[in-house]
Amino acid sequence: MPGRLIRAEGQATTGDVAADEAYAYLGATYELFWEVFQRHSIDGAGLPLIGTVHYGQNYENAFWNGEQMVFGDGDGEIFNRFTIAIDIVGHELAHGVIEHETSLAYKGQSGALNESLADVFGTLVKQYHAKHSVEQADWLIGVGLFTDEVKATALRSMKAPGSAYDDPALGKDPQPGHMRDYVDTTEDNGGVHINSGIPNRAFYLAATAIGGYAWEKSGRIWYEALCDEGLWDTADFSQFAALTVDVAERLYGVGVEQQSVRQAWVDVGVIA
């Protein structure tokens, strides 16, 4: 990595679908953070956004390695190319933002918060790019990532965790949407990709209750909470929930925003 440069900033499309998708979606992620949150790239200081495509051989993933994005082409049987979904690109780049702000410990509830925050900003990138309101948004993460051979609508659903796929080979989407179904496991660093469904649904509930465009108020609340000095690297769901309620009051006073955020966390069983 990074390989041979085939498209630099401002250059025309290349005809390489993966390269052109990566270029467009890296740019869309930058636009959200700059235009909405006044954040100049991932580190807040203009870090160049570099992406490597066609990584490995049939590589079934995309990741932020601390310096750049890396995209696999998928195996063509279960997974399509990993540049296909704008919110997956936004998700992985958001891990870089999280890393620069809090370094949330990647295990247990703090790790699930890390994954959830990446999904929140991933869906905000998609919604901002499409200019979709909370009612127009599909609240799905990774649409198009699975091939047509897989019985799936997406990789995850923020609206209805546990409903994204049900396939004989993959099994059923294991994400819970409520604390009563929290998965205690030693796998996946304590279930970081599974239990992220709970805070994901909380954001969906808060955003739809507040209404309008999710990046304007609910996204602002989650972003300010991420950047708040009160967010510890070992924060659990309840600590983050309390922080978002406090941030909502700080930004908008005691009103529908704060009440909607608090009720969202109540509805997923995180706070009483």
Q: What is the pLDDT of residue 103?
A: 85
Closest CA to 163 of 134, 192, 200: 200
pLDDT at 81: 97
DSSP H helices in 71-141: 86-101, 108-130
Beta bridge partners of 156: 141
Q: Could you tell me the domains of the chain?
A: 17-267 (1.10.390.10)
Q: By the 8 A CB rule, do 82 and 74 touch?
A: yes
Helix (H) or strand (E) holding 59: none
Q: Closest by alpha carbon to 218, among 205, 237, 227, 235?
A: 205
Residues with a catalytic annotation lie at 92, 193
Tokens of 154: 């997406």
pLDDT tens by residue, the chain, 272 residues: 889 999 999 999 999 999 999 999 999 999 999 999 999 999 999 999 999 999 999 999 999 999 999 999 999 999 999 999 999 999 999 999 999 999 899 999 999 999 999 999 999 999 999 999 999 999 999 999 999 999 999 999 999 999 999 999 999 999 999 999 999 999 999 999 999 999 999 999 999 999 999 999 999 999 999 999 999 999 999 999 999 999 999 999 999 999 999 999 999 999 99
Residue 2: is the preceding peptide bond cis (ω within 30°)? yes
**Amino acid at the residue 208:** T
Task: Give the model's pLDDT for residue 1.
Answer: 87
